[in-house]
Structure formats: C-alpha cells, structure tokens
Copies of this chain bind each other. A is one copy, B any other.
Amino acid sequence: MSAPIDFYFEFASPYGYLASLRIDAIAAAYDREVAWRPIMLGPALKLTGSMPNMSAPLKGEYLKRDAPRFARMLDAPFKMPPVMPMSSLAASRAFWWLHAQDPDMAKGFAQAVLHAHWGEGRDMSTADQVAEIGETLGLPKAELKAGIEDPAVKAKLKEETDRSIERGVFGSPFIFVDDEPFWGADRLDQVERWLATGGW
C-alpha cells in the first residue's frame, strides 16, 4: 500500500465538510489510506491577503447558495450554521489530542463535529460544544476539555498548520496525492482520476 493521501481541512469550511464525505471512499477504491489533517486556515488567509469567502462581499452570498446546492447534489445533509466562520480552535485541538491516542477515533470525532456543524447547523466554536460531541463517542467531557488545554496539543496544531503552509496549503479542503496538490471539493474528481491513472 502506498503512502496515505493527506487531507487538509478547516472545520469552519463547508467545502472541507463536503470533501470529507467522499475522500475516504475515493482513496479506498485505490487501496489508499487518508490522513485527516485539520488545520487553522487563518494564518494562510493572512499570508494570501484573503478573508474567509463567507465574509467577503459577493463571495459570501455566492457561498451561501453554492455550498447547500453542492450538498444537495451529493444528497448530503446541510444546514447553514448560526456562526460563520466559527472558531475552529477547540475542535482542531481536540482532534490532535485524540489523534495522539487513536487516529481512527480522531477521524470519527472529526466526522461527528463536521456533521454537527454543517449537517445540523450547530455552532461548534466552544470547548463545551466540542466536548458534547466527544461525549456521544464515549469521551468524558472533562478529559477532552483538559486535552484541548494541553501545551503539547496546542504545539501540535501549530506545527501542522505551519507545515501545511510550507506545503502550499491556502484553502480548505487541500489534498495531496503523494506530492501532487489539489485544492477544493471540486477537485475530487481530479484526485480520483490521478489515483486511477498515476497522473497526466
């Protein structure tokens, strides 16, 4: 089996959510694993002189039409959250705290947070809200909340974010097949084709 596909995403990005629903199945069809890598997109947005699309004039209006339409096309649950962009710090740290113990459980947690935020339209900005999701997976709330505050976990998220920028990540989702970069939920068909053909 070849190296895993790197799946960078930001919890606050609807397109990260949409891609998360398909990436594992696409990879599995070509006998590849997926390494889920939530990051904070803020630093890259600063670097590229951008604001979150959802906050920008014209772009924000389009996103609010495009993202639900894309979700309907995939038959995926979608409900616009009350806060956009939410703060993804707690969710991202909780992911990396869990990841150090059990990467599969961390992926399940990420899927549950993304579903709650984008599938059910629930705010996921606070440690409490994130810990409630953890609780449904059997994680004691107090443990997860302590994990979020662990300096090693904070450092890990910063390291993953820094590394993503070194690799050129500036949006969500951002996928690497070996070293080939693909930006956007709308590049999954190209990701699949790349896996099938080995590149073109």
Contact = CB atoms under 8 A, between A and B. Distances in A.
Contacts of A62: 168, 170, 181, 183
A72 interface: yes
Interface in A150-200: 165, 168-170, 181-184, 186-187, 189-190, 193, 200
Contacts of A73: 190, 193, 200
A170 B59 contact: yes
Given A72-B200, A186-B186, A193-B73, A59 B48 contact: yes
Given A184-B186, A187-B186, A190-B73, A57 B47 contact: yes
Given A62-B168, A73-B200, A186-B186, 8 more contacts: A47-B57, A48-B57, A48-B59, A49-B51, A49-B56, A49-B57, A66-B183, A72-B200
Q: SS class of chain A's interface: helix, strand, loop or mixed? A: helix
A184 B181 CA distance: 18
